[in-house]
């Protein structure tokens, strides 16, 4: 028999008061708590270190296997960009101010292929006949209307009239350093396309008719690589009403092939057919090939120094997911929410901690990896002038390094947010890998338009941030996913990933508030 000694308290006791001072649970304290949580699980620190080491190591392995024998000397435009500068040029020198006018009456292919959309016929003012010298040109194209282009990397679109269907009047005026391009349908009513300033233009420049057409490109793609064959692409353009106002020293027009038409073409298959210029009754007929554009085909040694990020990202995904799914798995999340009932603040603190930790570790890894890889690549033949120096603290290298660290960090936060929604590490890790990595693999397998679309709308777009060579959309370059080309600009690519991460965080915030813990 048990005798209970319990009795109701005879008097109402004084309620207890905590002896600790109530300190406001502010956000910095929450950060401190989450950071302590992160730091006190040794496996997570090891994963972070492993991520950094793997990033550096794979980057280095990849760089050490890349060798170049140098290749032909690259041509650089006035701003240092590697360029293609070869075209048929019918020209006269012009000293001082003046203007040149002509009507382009036709542009058609001179071989059995269809005319290239980026074939160019028009007027140019060029500081010399040397390849890579500064210039400004008004150009009629078959597929992209009338353009004013200058110094290779600048382009302004005029009207979209196609030179293959209607003749087009063009005019280029020089006043000091200023060059102004005009176009007209009838030679009477002129509209200005663009007004540009070319600094350092000499007093005497070469002025005249220009014809260029990039080679035709055939792409055969299969997983694991693609072959591109380019060739042919000769074009013929006709001009009339050619007039030059200003001081010109020689009367007759002379014709020159600026540069080799196809600098990389292996002989004899793509041997350069003769370019010609004929004049009949004031009608000039130019036949030739080549292109005046940034060269987008060469290896990008900035991008080549970030291969390890593809491996590092995997660790960051696991880390971001486990930082929160580990709490759900063991019910620890209830302790967390009991200590801090403001769940959104907890989510914000977790996001901040995992974002900062992965950014710092990622930044260290990619900076070291980049520096080592650059020096290895230099030793393997990737040297100036074909491959100029890209110092770490200057763009584009700085942008690529910071962007890669941001990419690693955003992906970790994305995994964290997906982890909050799914509350399961396997699901979160697999989902994020499929969002970030799988689209790239599928882009190798998918037909080109679908592949490019995939790299625009999935978080994989963010890898564009590693590109060192700026991609210009006014060139005929084939942007192939397997060549490491991403259709979006670095900034926009990273923004796509940031948008996914933000959306996932919003969803996480919504579920974490709405659901019982």
Partner 1 sequence: MRAHHALRPLHAEWTKLRTLPSTWWLLAALVALTLAVGAAAIAPVAADVCPGGTCDEDTVKLSLTGVWMGQAACLILGVLTMGAEYGTGTIRTTLAATPTRWRVLASKATVLALLTAAGGALAVLASILLADALLPDYAPALRPTLGSVLCLTLVALLGLALATMLRDTSGAITLGLGILYVVPLLVTLIPSPTWQHRLERWAPMPAALSIQSTRHLADLPIAPWPGLGVLAAYAAGLLLLAGVLFRTRDA
Partner 2 sequence: MSDATIEVRGLRKRFGRTLAVDGLSFTVEPGTVTGFVGPNGAGKSTTLRALLGLDAPDEGQALIAGRPYHALRTPLLEVGALLDAAALHPARRGRDHLRWLAHSHGLPVRRVDDVLAQVGLESAARRRAGGYSLGMRQRLGIAAALLGDPPILLLDEPVNGLDPEGIQWIRRLLRRLAAEGRAILVSSHLMSELEDTADHLVVIGRGRLIADTSVSELLHAASGDRVRLRTEARTQAMELLAREGGRVAVTDRDTLIVTGLPASRVVELLTEARVPFAEVGAHRATLEEAYMELTRDKAEFTSATETADEVTR
Cβ 314 to partner 2 shortest distance, Å: 20
Q: Which is nearer to partner 2, 208 or 320 (CB)?
A: 320
**DSSP states along 216-266:** EEEEEEETTEEEEEEE---EEEEEEEEEEEEE-S-SS-EEEEES-SSTTPP
3-state secondary structure of 133: coil
CA distances 146 to 9, 78, 291, 346, Å, are: 96, 23, 16, 56
DSSP string, 168-206: EEEEEEEETTEEEEEEESSSSSEEEEEEEE-TT--SEEE
Burial of 81-111, coded b for 16+ CB within 10 Å and e otherwise, reads bbbbbbbbbbbbbbeeebbbbbbbbbbebbe
Q: Which of 53, 66, 260, 472 binds partner 1 (CB under 8 A)?
A: 66
Q: Which stretch binds partner 1 (CB under 8 A): 173-181, 256-264, 384-392, 426-434?
A: 426-434
Site size toward partner 1 (CB under 8 A) is 45
* Binding residue (CB under 8 A) for partner 1 from 52, 58, 212, 421: 58
Interface stretch with partner 2, choices 34-42, 116-124, 193-201, 251-259 (CB under 8 A): 34-42
Cα(152)–Cα(83) distance, integer angstroms: 7
The binder of 223, among partner 2, partner 1, none, by C-beta within 5 to 8 A per type, is partner 1
- Asked whether the beta carbons of 111 and 238 are under 8 A apart, the reply is no
Cβ distance to partner 2 smaller for residue 46 or 457: 46
* Minimum CB–partner distance for residue 508 and partner 2 (Å): 17
**Could you tell me if 148 and 138 are in contact, meaning their C-beta atoms sit under 8 angstroms apart?**
yes
Per CB under 8 A, which of residues 319..378 are in contact with partner 2? Answer: 326-327, 330-332, 334-335, 337-342
Neighbouring CB atoms inside 10 A of 475's CB total 20
- Per-residue interface string for the shown chain with partner 1, residues 444-483, x marking contact by CB under 8 A: xxxx-xx-------------------------------x-
Which of 78, 299, 396, 487 contacts partner 1 by CB under 8 A? 299
Decide which of partner 2, partner 1, none touches 165; Cβ closer than 5 to 8 Å per partner kind: none
Rounded to a whole number of angstroms, the CA Rg of the chain reads 31
CA distance 73 to 71: 6
Report if residue 9 touches partner 2, rule: CB under 8 A. Answer: yes
426 lies in the site for partner 1, by CB under 8 A: yes
**Per rule CB under 8 A, is residue 144 in the interface with partner 2?**
no
Distance CA 517, CA 512 (A): 8
Our CB check for partner 2 shows the closer of 281 and 516 to be 516
Which CB sits closer to partner 2, 6 or 251? 6
CB of 321 to partner 1, least distance (A): 7
Contacts for 469 with CB less than 8 Å, ≥ 6 apart: 82, 296, 298, 300, 302, 303, 396
When CB distances are held under 5 to 8 angstroms depending on the partner's kind, the choice from partner 1, partner 2, none that residue 266 binds is none
In terms of Cα–Cα distance, which of 393, 310, 298, 411 is closest to 351?
411
Question: For partner 1, which is the closer residue by CB, 71 or 202?
Answer: 71
Residue 335 CB, nearest approach to partner 1 (Å): 20
Strands 87-109 and 254-258: antiparallel
Dist CA 170 CA 140 (whole Å): 8
Judged by CB under 8 A, the residue of 94, 179, 302, 314 near partner 1 is 314
- Residue 2 makes contact with partner 2 by CB under 8 A: yes
Specify the 3-state DSSP secondary structure of 466: helix
Pairing relationship of beta strands 235-247 and 216-222 according to DSSP bridges: unpaired
Between 163 and 428, whose beta carbon lies closer to partner 1?
428
**Residue of 39, 192, 329, 334 interacting with partner 1 (CB under 8 A):** 329
Size of the site for partner 2 (CB under 8 A): 49
Please give the Cα distance from 386 to 191 (Å, whole number): 40
How many angstroms separate the CA atoms of 373 and 58, rounded?
Answer: 10
Question: Binding of partner 2 at residue 416 (CB under 8 A)?
Answer: no
Stretch that binds partner 1, among 100-108, 150-158, 255-263, 436-444 (CB under 8 A): 436-444
Cis peptide before 163 (omega within 30 of 0): no
- In the complex, the residues that contact partner 2 under the rule CB under 8 A are 1-9, 12-20, 22-26, 29-30, 32-34, 36-37, 40-43, 326-327, 330-332, 334-335, 337-342, 516-517
- In the complex, the residues that contact partner 1 under the rule CB under 8 A are 58, 61-66, 220, 222-225, 299, 304, 307, 310-311, 313-315, 317-318, 321-322, 325, 329, 425-426, 429-430, 433-434, 437-438, 440-442, 444-447, 449-450, 482, 484
């Amino acid at each position: 028999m048990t005798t209970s000694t319990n009795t109701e308290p005879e008097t109402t006791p004084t309620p207890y008061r905590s002896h600790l001072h109530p300190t406001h649970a502010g956000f910095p304290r929450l950060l401190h708590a989450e950071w302590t949580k992160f730091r006190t699980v040794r496996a997570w620190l090891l994963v972070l270190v492993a991520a950094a080491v793997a990033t550096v190591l794979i980057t280095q392995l990849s760089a050490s296997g890349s060798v170049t024998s140098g290749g032909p000397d690259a041509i650089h435009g006035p701003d240092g960009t590697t360029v293609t500068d070869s075209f048929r040029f019918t020209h006269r020198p012009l000293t001082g101010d003046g203007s040149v006018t002509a009507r382009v009456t036709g542009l058609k292919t001179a071989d059995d292929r269809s005319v290239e959309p980026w074939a160019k016929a028009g007027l140019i003012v060029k500081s010399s006949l040397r390849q890579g010298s500064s210039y400004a040109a008004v150009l009629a194209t078959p597929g992209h209307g009338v353009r004013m282009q200058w110094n290779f990397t600048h382009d302004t679109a005029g009207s979209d009239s196609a030179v293959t269907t209607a003749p087009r009047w063009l005019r280029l005026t020089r006043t000091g350093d200023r060059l102004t391009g005009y176009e007209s349908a009838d030679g009477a009513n002129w509209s200005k396309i663009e007004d540009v300033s070319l600094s350092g233009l000499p007093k005497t420049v070469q002025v005249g008719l220009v014809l260029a057409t990039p080679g035709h490109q055939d792409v055969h793609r299969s997983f694991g690589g693609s072959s591109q064959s380019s060739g042919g692409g000769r074009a013929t353009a006709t001009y009339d009403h050619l007039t030059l106002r200003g001081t010109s020293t020689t009367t007759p027009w002379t014709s020159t092939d600026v540069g080799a038409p196809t600098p990389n073409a292996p002989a004899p298959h793509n041997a350069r057919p003769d370019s010609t210029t004929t004049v009949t009754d004031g009608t000039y007929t130019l036949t030739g090939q080549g292109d005046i554009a940034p060269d987008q085909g060469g290896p990008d040694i900035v991008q080549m120094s970030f291969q390890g990020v593809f491996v590092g990202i995997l660790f960051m995904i696991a880390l971001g997911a486990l930082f929160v799914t580990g709490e759900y798995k063991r019910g620890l999340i209830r302790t967390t929410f009991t200590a801090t009932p403001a769940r959104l603040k907890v989510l914000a603190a977790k996001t901040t901690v995992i974002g900062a930790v992965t950014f710092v570790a990622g930044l260290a890894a990619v900076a070291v990896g980049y520096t080592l890889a650059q020096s290895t690549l230099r030793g393997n033949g990737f040297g100036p002038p074909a491959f100029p120096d890209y110092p770490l603290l200057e763009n584009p290298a700085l942008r690529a390094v910071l962007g890669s660290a941001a990419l690693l960090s955003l992906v970790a936060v994305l995994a964290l947010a997906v982890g909050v929604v799914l509350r399961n590490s396997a699901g979160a890790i697999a989902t994020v890998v499929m969002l970030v990595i799988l689209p790239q693999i599928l882009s190798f397998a998918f037909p080109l338009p679908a592949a490019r679309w995939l790299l625009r709308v999935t978080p994989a777009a963010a890898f564009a941030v590693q590109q060192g060579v700026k991609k210009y959309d006014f060139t005929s370059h084939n942007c192939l996913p397997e060549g490491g080309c991403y259709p979006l600009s670095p900034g926009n690519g990273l923004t796509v990933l940031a948008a996914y991460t933000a959306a996932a965080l919003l969803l996480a915030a919504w579920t974490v508030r709405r659901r019982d813990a």
